[in-house]
Amino acid sequence: MITFKEVLLKENPEMIIFVGDVNWMIACSLDAKKLHFKVAHVQVGLRSFDRYMPAEINRILTDSILDYLFVIEKSGMINLKKEGVFEKKIFFVGNCMVDNLISILTIAYSSNILENFLLRKRNLL
């Protein structure tokens, strides 16, 4: 089995960008940082303030070693500033899931899929 470290050394990327807060993300972020690769993460700064949650530990530890922190909501900006993260590393990018939903609303409203399945129309938002 090939390791992430081996992939990094073979591919030599300019930057690694992660999304989410699962266990492999922190492991891969550590590998990348130890090899001096730039590391970015989308969805940073989100906090549950529950240190018993594995995802919360992953978020806090990963956010502390990132080169670029891409924040999706205003609370993330506040949390990172409180944690002392250097502001020039923080970028508010918005929520791509919400942006995607908004971009397809026109298509969704004009679709006849509901009639095809004999369902009634309701507001989507």
Q: Record the tokens describing residue 8, joined without a space.
A: 């990094």
For residue 91, the model assigns a pLDDT of 96
Work out the widest C-alpha separation in the chain, in whole angstroms: 57
pLDDT band at 40 (very low <50, low <70, confident <90, very high): very high
Mean of all residue pLDDT scores within the chain: 89
DSSP 8-state symbol, 44: E
Spell out the CATH class of 4-95: alpha beta
Does the pLDDT at position 125 exceed 70? no
Does position 2 have pLDDT exceeding 80, yes or no?
no
Domain locations in the chain as residue ranges: 4-95
Average pLDDT over residues 22-46: 92
